[in-house]
Amino acid sequence: MITQKMKYALKALLVLADEAARDIPEPLTIEQVARRSGTPKRFLEHILLEVRNAGVIASIRGRSGGYLLVKKPNEISLSELLRLIDGPIAPLPCLSRRAYQRCEDCVDEASCRIRKVFAEVFWSYLLIIESLTLEDMLRSDQVADQVLGA
């Protein structure tokens, strides 16, 4: 399950990606991003700072400043965003590749049935989530519009 913070980050990035797709993209103020994404501005400031520090977006100061996408949507990995915003994505600490920790109550990882079952589920999830980018989310919008007749 993703957090509300992650949903806000994705909504904001989708707004910035839509702007980047225009013929002449312009930086969007935090107010514009908040309004277009339906995200509270007070949460968005912190989120956009994290995403900017990760090199996904840039902020431009000044009167005509704002936020711009600096990576192409197909270069923005959803799994990396999840880790950036929400932290480790493994269901158990002993399954995490980047934040591995042995479970305190574990006697033997190799024979742990809980670990084995969740490992299968998690690896399947990883195969999918690590293949997805922001561009896939943009395309899913287009597919939904076609299916729903919008």
β-partners of residue 67 are 28, 59
pLDDT of residue 68: 95
Q: How far is CA 90 from CA 4, 21, 115, in A?
A: 18, 33, 11
pLDDT of residue 140: 76
Helices and strands (DSSP H and E) totals, the chain: 6, 2
| Alpha-carbon gap, residue 136 to 14, rounded angstroms | 11
| Alpha-carbon gap, residue 60 to 69, rounded angstroms | 11
Q: Which residue has the tokens 């989708």?
A: 14
Residue 84 within a domain: no
Q: Which domain holds residue 62?
A: 4-69
Say how many domains are in the chain.
Answer: 2
Q: Which residue has the tokens 């079952």?
A: 117
106 in the same domain as 57: no
pLDDT of residue 7: 96
Q: What is the pTM of this model?
A: 0.84
Output the domain CATH number for residue 44: 1.10.10.10
95 in the same domain as 52: no
> If the chain, 150 residues long, is cut into consecutive pieces of 10 residues, what is the mean pLDDT of each piece?
94 96 93 95 94 95 91 96 93 87 86 90 92 91 49
Token readout for 44 is 């968005």
**Nearest Cα residue to 12 out of 29, 37, 31:** 37
pLDDT of residue 46: 94
109 in the same domain as 65: no
pLDDT in tens, 36-54: 999 999 999 999 999 999 9
